Amino acid sequence: MSGSILYVFVVGFHHKRGCQVEYSYPPINNKTRISDEDLPPEWKTLPSLALPDGAHNFEKDSVFFHLPSLEKPNQTVYGVSCYRQISSQTLLNRSEDVTRCTVQKSVCVLSVLPLYGLLKAELEAITQVYFSQCDFDKVELLAEMYEHLKRTINISELKNRAMYGTFGRSTFISSKLVLTNVFIYSTEQISVYCY
């Protein structure tokens, strides 16, 4: 899978089974409506990471977590999850499984980059809209969010921003020196060019 955004998941709390994955985009095993059994073995902890213990104590919150990469051994996948709870009385399509007075769910994104702040901001807005629909079967906006994030998050642009953030004005000067083939070996002269 290419790109920085890997998946969007919905994790819900079931009163008998605990936290469980309910939705995945893109599909896993050709299904968007999935269960924990559909998750790769390396990601079996995803439900409890995306909807942590004690989430019922808050109306809304977010959490960051890590999972192992499925494609690149010894690398990390970064997760951002925003969870909320609402009164079960407000649901338009209340399933028989809903036996408590509140429903808890989280929307989470997995990425190959630690884009915590950016993804959290996107997820907070989407999660609010997803919950305000009062119908958790309406998942189209989650697929749209995934496609939007895939289109707008450009890894090479982020790397350039990080480089400029680290080296500031010197980034442009160094680039100019390389492009004009000006090679100076004295550190004093390089310092003069940079500062």
Domain covering 5-153 in this structure, CATH number:
3.30.450
pLDDT at 182 > cutoff 80: no
Range with lowest mean pLDDT among 39-48, 96-105, 145-154, 185-194? 185-194
- The CATH 3.30.450 domain(s) of the chain lie at 5-153
Contact 105/51 with Cβ under 8 angstroms? yes
Give residue-wise pLDDT tens across range 96-136.
665 555 667 889 999 998 888 889 888 888 888 888 776 77
Cβ atoms of residues 78 and 66 within 8 Å? yes
What residues contact 70, with CB distance under 8 A and at least 6 apart?
A: 40, 42, 43, 77
Q: Which tops the pLDDT comparison, 45 or 97?
A: 45
**CA angle, corner 120, sides to 61 and 30, nearest 5?**
100
pTM of the model: 0.71
